Amino acid sequence: MNDAPHVPVMLDEVLDHLAPAASRPGALAVDATLGAGGHSEALLTAHPGLTVIGIDRDPNALELASKRLAGFGDRFIPARAVYDAIPDVLRANGFRELDAVLFDLGVSSMQLDQRERGFAYSQDAPLDMRMNPDDELTAEIVVNTYEPGELVRILRTYGEEKFAPRVVSAIVNARAKAPITSSSALADLVRDAIPAAARRTGGNPAKRTFQALRIEVNGELETWERALPAALDATAPGGRVVVLSYHSLEDRITKQELAKRARSNSPAGLPVDLPGTEPTFRLLTKKAQQPTQTELDRNPRSAPARLRAAERIAPSTRAGGAT
């Protein structure tokens, strides 16, 4: 494992968007994808009255981040869960609403740097890719047992791999001789399956396949479709949500859900909104923010990041604050 400090993505922008909500007296923030804890550390440092619940499905990440944030005492509350369980985590810790919530989606730098986890195509490791090591489904199972048509769908949809049929054909031919069990073996198969001309640009040709497998193994898109509405419902009036996504499908789900909450549901032509049809959120980002060049120089892994933020402007569906 690489012990170098991990750099939180778009930290200044995250802090700026969350500050009005995180600075309220007795505010509660949820870092729904805790990872190495960099964003949480910055929030807790910037707002001495803030409590942060840090959620992660990865027990190793939770343990390491908890050690990093131990100096904040009971202002930091760790919770092992998947981020679509925010309402359950709030209730379990005596809260009904949150003031600020951050989602930093996808695989963390810490997970990428742990060779044995099998997330990185540039290092040889078992084909695992589980964010929660207790889950049964692994990338090895997907690669060696899924039907060819399903593999093509996954690579096209989750990896946006235009050569998906060629890649899957190479996988099927190889696994017929022996199971594919290592990340380097899979990366070599993918590289050889993609035409030479297409390999000259765009970085490692295996990155799209590895991304697609990781999303499938961890059910990331289905989880996100549940998690964002649940978090928005749990946000108190004046509360804020920030989402960092790294994949066009994640960003599309985010954009559509936030836009839906930010518009009126009243019939067109009425002079005022009917009760219960008013917008419930205000968009803080009209378009997704992207990393600055300074950010890219400091942290090249931030390149695909897209940030969207919104603020609750109407009464929430949940009453009260801490109980």
Q: What residues form the annotated binding site?
A: 37-39, 56, 83, 104, 111
Q: How far apart are CA 93 and CA 115, in angstroms?
A: 34
Distances (CA, A) of 145 to 69, 70, 129: 41, 43, 16
Strand partners, 102: 31, 242
Residue type (1 letter), 174: A
Q: Write out the binding residues for S-adenosyl-L-methionine.
A: 37-39, 56, 83, 104, 111
Angle between helices 248-261 and 220-233 in degrees, nearest 10: 20
Look-up: residue for tokens 């936030």? 258
**How many other β-carbons are positioned within 10 Å of the β-carbon of residue 81?**
17
Q: How far apart are CA 316 and CA 117, in angstroms?
A: 40
The DSSP code sequence of 197-218 is HHHTSSS-TTHHHHHHHHHHHH
Q: How far apart are CA 114 and CA 174, in angstroms?
A: 27
Strands (E), 74-168: 76-80, 98-104
Could you give phi then psi for residue 126, rounded to 5 degrees? -60, 145
Cβ contact 44:72 at 8 Å: yes
Angle between helices 38-46 and 11-22 in degrees, nearest 10: 50
